[in-house]
Amino acid sequence: MGIVLAGCSAPEPAPETEQEAAPTTLTVGVVGSLTSFNAASATGDTAANRAVASLLDEKLGSLDGDLQVVPNDGFGRITRVQGDPLKVSYELFDDRVWSDGTPVSLDDLLFGWAVTSHFFDDATYDDAGQIVSGTRYFDTAMPADPNARTARPSIDRSDDTLTLTYDEPFADWNRQWLLDRPVHVVAERAGVSVKDLLTAILTVPEGDPQAPAAPNPVLMAAAEAWNTGFDVPAGTAVDPASVVSAGPWTVTESTADTLTLARRDSYQGAHFPGLEALSVRFFPDRAAQLSALEAGVVDIANVGEIDVAERETLTDAGYQVQVGPTTQTLHLRFGEGTASDLRQAMTLAIDRSSIVRDVLGPMRPDAQPLQSFLSSSATGQLYNDLVAGNGAPGTGSDADAARNALGDRAAVLRVAYDATDELSSQVFPRLVSMGARAGIAVRAATADDTADATLAWVGEDESLYRSARDRIAEGVDGLNTDELFAELTVHTDPVDILAEAKEIDRSLFAAFAGVPLFERTGAVVSAAGVGGVDYTSEPDGVPPAFWTWSAPSQ
C-alpha cells in the first residue's frame, strides 16, 4: 500500500523591507560662533562666519589650498577684454538660481559692485578712522582699494554681460568677483523695491569727499540692511527659509552650535557635492574642537597649529592629519632708524636654516627658511616662481662677514617681540646667540626703548599686489621700492606682476630691510575613510573644494 504524504510546503518568507539608505553626510568642526550670514561686513568678518560663507556663497571664483584663484567656470566668466584702459566683462550663465528660486542676474552683480567699490561714499575720516563728515554707505570689512576705482558699470542684457572700465589698469582685476548678498533680499529687508535700488545705483552721482551731499535714502536703507540685516543675534534661532544662498547647499536646521545643510536639487553649476548633507558644528575654542575630534563627533576640521603630542593623539584615534605652512609669517623687521651696517651685519649673522630646523622640524621636517618678503610656501607654485631669482640671500650664517660689515666694532640691537608667543620666544634666544658670534648684543627692547627691530607675525594675502602693498607700508624700503610697487599695481598680466614682485623683493633684500624667517604651521584633520579633503594654508579656513569630499564607505 502506498503512503500518501500530505502536501504541505513551507511558507514563503516575507519579502525583506528595503531599508532606505541614510543620506551621506559629514560634520565640519569650526571654532567660533555664527553671528552673521554676511562675512563681508565689518561686523560679520569672523573666522566662523567666513567658514559658513565658503560653503553657502557661490561666486565667479574661489581659492584653492594654496590660495590661488580658481575660476568658477560652472557659474559664469570673468574676461579681461582690454588692457589699457582696463575693461573686464562679467557673464552669468543661464538657469543659475538662488536657493529660493530667484534667478541670479546681472542686477546682483551690479549691487555687488555698489557694495565693494564704495563709489557713492563721500566720507572723510580723522586719524582714528572715525567719520567726520559725509557718508559711508556699505561698511565692508575690506576697505575700498584706491587702485581699484572704476566708472559706473555698463550692462548689456542682450549679451547678459556687465562690463567694468577701470580708471587705471589694476593688478587684482581677476579677484573682483562682485556677487554678494542677493539684491532682492537686500531690497526686501531695506523696505525698498529692487527697481528703485537699481535705479539709485545707476543714477546717484559718484561721491566726492570734498563736497559731501545728503545721503540718498534708498542707498542708505539698502546699506543699513546689508550692514546688519544678515546678523544672527546671540541666543536666537535662525529661520532656515531666511538664508538665501547661491551655492549648492540650503540651510535646513539651525541650533546654537550646529548648522545643518542639505544639497539642493535646483543647483546648476560645477560644485555639485557628492555628499547629500553637511553639518557645521561650532566650538567655543580650539581645545573644545580637538576634544570633539578625539570623541569622533567631527569628521573634518582645520585645527591650526598643533604640537607633536596632539598630532599623535589624533593619528592614534584614526584621523588623517595633513600639516603644512600657513599664511602667517614671522619676520625680523628693522626700524627705519636702524643703521644700515647694523642691519646688514645682523642679516649675515642669522642662521635661518638652524632656526627653522630647531623650531619647525619636529612638526614639519621639510620646512625651509622663508625666501621672500611678499609671499611664502603657503602659496605653492606662485612662491616657487617668485623666489627663483628674487635676490634672496643664503640661509646660513657668516659671522666673519657680519663682523666686517660693522668694521669689527661692537653693536647693540634692541628687539621687540611678544614673549607670550611660543615661536617668537623660541626664536629670540637664538638671535641672541647668533648675534653674539658677530659682536652684536641682541637685547629685548623695553617699553621705554625705541626698538631697532621687531619680531613680527605678518598675515599674508593670496594676492601679490596686496601683499606687496602691506609689506612696504612700514619699516625700511629699498631705493626704488615705491616705484616698483606703482608699476606692479598697473600690470594686469600675472607674468608681469610676478616679475615686478621679484624686483620688489630684490630691492628689499638689497636694502637689508629685514629677515624673513618662516611660516606658522597648520593642520587639517579628516576622519578615517573620508576622501577628497585637501590641506589649506589659510589658518582658519575650511578645506577647499567641499564638492570633492566623500563619506566613508558603508
Domains of the chain: 58-229 (3.90.76.10), 247-318+528-548 (3.40.190), 325-521 (3.10.105.10)
C-alpha distances in angstroms, 367 versus 288, 381, 507, 541?
29, 15, 25, 21
363 DSSP 8-state letter? T
Segment 401-408 mean pLDDT: 96
pLDDT tens per residue across span 201-222:
999 999 999 999 999 999 999 9
Coil, helix or strand for 26?
strand
Q: What is the pLDDT of residue 371?
A: 97
Q: How far apart are CA 196 and CA 494, in angstroms?
A: 39
Q: Which residues 6+ apart lie within 8 Å of 131 measured at CB?
A: 123, 124, 125
Amino acid identity of residue 251, one-letter, is V
- Locate 168 and state its grid cell: 587705471
Residue 38: phi and psi, rounded to 5, are -125, 85
Measuring CA to CA, which residue among 541, 528, 531, 55 is closest to residue 278? 55
Reading the block at residue 364, the C-alpha cell is 614639519
pLDDT at 13 over 60: no
Average pLDDT rounded to a whole number, residues 51-61? 96
Could you report the per-residue pLDDT of 219-266, keeping only the tens digit for each?
999 999 999 999 998 878 788 989 999 999 999 999 989 999 999 999
Q: How confident is the model at residue 12 (pLDDT cuts 50, 70, 90)?
A: low
Which cell is 342 given?
Answer: 647694523
What span, in angstroms and rounded, lies between the C-alpha atoms of 53 and 66? 19
Using CA atoms, how far apart are residues 350 and 550, in angstroms rounded to an integer? 46
Mapping DSSP to helix (H, G, I), strand (E, B) and coil, where does residue 186 land?
helix
Nearest to 436 by CA among 405, 413, 461: 413
Q: Each residue of 368-403: pLDDT tens digit?
A: 999 999 999 999 999 999 999 999 999 999 999 999
C-alpha grid cell, residue 543:
578645506
pLDDT at 81 over 70: yes
Single-letter residue type at 278: L
SS3 253: strand
Q: Where are the alpha helices (DSSP H) in 321-419?
A: 340-349, 352-360, 381-386, 399-405
Give the distance, in angstroms, between the CA of residue 234 and the centroid of all CA atoms in the same chain.
25
pTM of the model: 0.91
- Using N-to-C axis directions, what is the helix angle for 217-228 and 183-190, rounded to 10°? 110
pLDDT score recorded for residue 313: 94
Length of the chain: 554
State yes or no: cis peptide before 325, omega within 30 of 0.
no
Name 251's bridge partners: 261
> CB count, 10 Å around CB of 434?
22
What pLDDT, in 10s, does the model give residues 114-143?
999 999 999 999 988 899 999 999 999 998
